[in-house]
Chain A
């Protein structure tokens, strides 16, 4: 069983604050790393797919970085807004279409 860990488990920030969280995964035989946003009562929505060491992806105020040699990825949110409140999941993909998910970081942005 492959271990994917996310930290922190939950986070409360004020509107306008910037924040970041971590996804740790095995550093050997890297294939792909996925980030999802999961809002309450909705389906998880894909944010980024990262495949190369040093990758940086950005979508609006959200960005992610990848370090495959040390086995971690950071997700950053700049100037958090209440609509950013969600659980953020990372998933480590291995060949053969298998995904191993972390337990997620629950973000609450306080207006």
Chain B
């Protein structure tokens, strides 16, 4: 069973540009969550998509957006990049059950974004 894949693995952009990151979940999983990790911070939740709909959203500005396709692949877009957006972006896939008992999230390897 293939794991979660993310592309690209590394990206260098300059301030003001925009970027799109991609995540392909484990086959059969309908939920994709996105996280940002910066030095000294835990994984900060960006948003979760389930069956092509954004179901949960973290506390990030509107420059961060996403979408999910019918095959459950998800993209995350960051517009007007700032230096502080330099981070590791992880996606995680799961069945996405909202009613229990619990979900297991499986993580991709991440995309390392550097903003110059």
Chain A residues with CB under 8 Å of chain B are 1, 4, 31-32, 34, 36, 42-46, 49, 51, 89, 91, 93, 95-104
Contacts and interface: CB of A to CB of B under 8 A. Distances in A.
B77 to A, nearest CB: 21
21 contacts: A4-B42, A32-B101, A34-B104, A43-B107, A46-B104, A51-B101, A51-B102, A93-B102, A96-B56, A97-B56, A97-B97, A97-B98, A97-B103, A98-B45, A98-B48, A101-B35, A101-B43, A102-B42, A103-B40, A103-B41, A104-B42
Interface residues of B, number: 32
Q: Main SS of chain B's interface residues?
A: loop
B20 to A, nearest CB: 21
B74 to A, nearest CB: 14
Interface of B: 3-4, 31, 33, 35, 40-43, 45, 48, 50, 55-56, 59, 90, 94, 96-110
